[in-house]
Amino acid sequence: MRSLLIWVAATGLLNAPAALAHDDHGGLTEAKEDGRAASAKDAKGRKWLSGDHHIHSEFSADYKADPAAPDEAPKPLLGKDGRYSIARNAQMGASFGLNWMVSTDHGGPLHSRLNFDQAYPQLLVARKAVPQILIFYGMEFDTPAGDHSSMIIPFTKGERAQLRDIEARFSKREAFPVDPARDTEPRMIEALRYMRAQQRQPVLIANHPSRSAKDVGVYGQYTPAEFRNWNDTAPTVSVGMEGAPGHQAGALKPDGSNDPEGARGGYRNSPTLGGFDQMTARLGGFWDSMLGEGRRWWITATSDSHSNWRDGGSDFWPGEYSKTYVHARRDHADVLDGLRNGRVFVTTGDLISELDVSVAVHGARQAAMMGVTMGGTIMAKPGDDVEVTIRLRDPAAANFGGFTPAVARVDLIVGEVTGPVADRTADQNPTTRVEKRFTAADWTKTGEVLTMRHTLRDLRGPVYLRVRGTNTTQAEPVPDPKGENPWEDLWFYGNPVFVKVK
């Protein structure tokens, strides 16, 4: 993979603990999970590593109660919801180019025992069988007062017990008999406080945030106020949401033809836009309102793989269509650190495979002004010009759909950072704008690499910058109709860079 220009500057990150890595014998050895501000030394050896944090195995069970034994918990039926083994998911992910993945089975009555006793040993089998991919232990957390969330557990000797502890205490579907008190927002806030206090904090990413929305801005199980409460409570745990949900093959039949009744992402009420959730895709919408507060709130993209479309399901294999790229060294600790701190871009259909967004103050001589990349923060003074350089790799090879899509346009998006909102239900940032649209006339091309530049003049207040691109001619992503071929409508999004002005 081509080494891109990397700018580095100070950002305030968490105090992260020691983690573990595989030694040459498949065992565990100490490795550092460093949550300090990035430096040139910290960035050494980092590359773009593709992954997926939302993957189901056979341990995402259905449950069947015994009418003759009403006092007994329902029995888990393996392979009925999630279909494949953890090792099979890892093998397929590796074959589609993934470098890391998280196994995330959702719960049910007493599911923490199933995870601990049966799923975890199979996760260890998968790590040995597919050593070329970094496999995290996690779950699709049954979120109190919400939908689902990907919980990613740090790679340590205690990972097995750590997940059992959190799931048993807080997963809303864990209790038998059912306990309604587990399904409340105060219970979720309690869970986040508990995770925040742990020596080795997990990462929590909200899954398919608008799947239950009834219309644009008419939210369902997840609301803007809820996410603000999460992020306020545990800003180094609750760090973002799926920008592009899984189930993107919902509009495909097993023979590869389009299903006219199929909906991308399973979004049957308020559809995805270019395959992305409305909370991400709407320019000046919810994501921009969070960034306008200065929140470090990142987006990802996943498969949500349960059953592959070739087998009659609605899913692509991990890595087959959606990828979350993290700028990290090839170890669990640095990948998790990248997810926690926004060194991330996402793409569908392998539209791009590398993205570098470098932001620097013109003529800067001080380290804090000399440049940062996605997830970072740079300092500027009133009146400074800020130079933005975007480099991306547009692969020449066909993607896994057999298409060779080309980047048609790249948008540089800018919004003002104005601080906390008075209305915590806010889902708009009226300051957000497309600062510059780049097409082939505006970039230089060297092989597969496109480079483009823009200068923000006379900056007077704090802003954030983010980048998106597409292979379409759409000025803004439009609602996805049922039956749309997902391979024809591709987008990528980069996470933001923040510019402080004082």
Over residues 109-163, the pLDDT tens digits come to 999 999 999 999 999 999 999 999 999 999 999 999 999 999 999 999 999 999 9
- Is 217 exposed, middle or buried, given 0-12, 13-18 or 19+ CB atoms closer than 10 A? middle
Average pLDDT over residues 25-30: 32
Query: How many other CB atoms are there within 10 angstroms of residue 110's CB atom?
Result: 18
Q: Are 291 and 417 in contact (CB under 8 A)?
A: yes
What is the token pair recorded at 51?
């992954």
Assigned domain for 483 exists: no
461 DSSP 8-state letter: S
Assigned domain for 427 exists: no
The total of structural domains in the chain comes to 1
Assigned domain for 65 exists: yes
Distance in angstroms (rounded) separating the CA atoms of residues 458 and 477: 30
Lowest mean pLDDT of 360-369, 390-399, 487-496, name the range.
360-369
Q: Are 327 and 355 in contact (CB under 8 A)?
A: no
Query: How many other CB atoms are there within 10 angstroms of residue 478's CB atom?
Result: 13
Q: What is the pLDDT of residue 37?
A: 38
Q: What is the pLDDT of residue 345?
A: 98
Can you give 105-116 as a three-state secondary structure string?
Answer: EECCCCHHHHHH
Q: What is the pLDDT of residue 330?
A: 97
Assigned domain for 369 exists: no
Predicted confidence (pLDDT) per residue in 323-366, tens digit:
999 999 999 999 999 999 999 999 999 999 999 999 999 987 77
Taking the model in full, what pTM does it have?
Answer: 0.92
Domain assignment of residue 339, given as a range? 18-23+31-354
Q: What is the pLDDT of residue 60?
A: 97
Lowest mean pLDDT of 32-36, 54-58, 220-224, 415-419, name the range.
32-36
Sign of the dihedral through C-alpha 471, 472, 474, 478: negative
pLDDT over 70 (residue 10): no
Pairing, β 463-470 against β 491-494: antiparallel
Whose CA is closest to 466, among 204, 288, 300? 288
Q: What is the pLDDT of residue 6?
A: 28
Examine residue 177 and say whether the peptide bond preceding it is cis (omega within 30 degrees of 0). yes
Q: What is the pLDDT of residue 40?
A: 54
Find the Cα–Cα–Cα–Cα dihedral 489, 341, 60, 311, rounded to 10°.
20
pLDDT over 70 (residue 93): yes
pLDDT over 90 (residue 243): yes
- Residue 464: pLDDT band by 50, 70, 90 thresholds? very high
Distance in angstroms (rounded) separating the CA atoms of residues 411 and 408: 10
Q: What is the percent of the chain with per-residue pLDDT over 70, rounded to a whole number?
A: 91
Identity of the amino acid at 6: I
Assigned domain for 229 exists: yes
Assigned domain for 345 exists: yes
- Spatial neighbors of 486 by CB under 8 A, at least 6 apart, are 248, 249, 251, 252, 264, 275, 321, 348, 349
pLDDT over 90 (residue 5): no
Assigned domain for 492 exists: no
Q: What is the pLDDT of residue 25?
A: 27
Identity of the amino acid at 347: T
Q: What is the mean pLDDT of the chain?
A: 91
- Spatial neighbors of 471 by CB under 8 A, at least 6 apart, are 349, 351, 405, 406, 407, 408, 489, 490
Average pLDDT over residues 173-195: 97
pLDDT over 50 (residue 219): yes
Q: Are 39 and 88 in contact (CB under 8 A)?
A: no
Q: What is the pLDDT of residue 424?
A: 97
- Residue 70: pLDDT band by 50, 70, 90 thresholds? confident
pLDDT over 90 (residue 29): no
Average pLDDT over residues 161-170: 98
Average pLDDT over residues 424-439: 98
pLDDT over 60 (residue 247): yes
Average pLDDT over residues 459-473: 98
Distance in angstroms (rounded) separating the CA atoms of residues 124 and 452: 44
Which CATH number characterizes residue 326's domain? 3.20.20.140
Assigned domain for 381 exists: no
Q: Are 317 and 305 in contact (CB under 8 A)?
A: yes
Average pLDDT over residues 241-270: 96
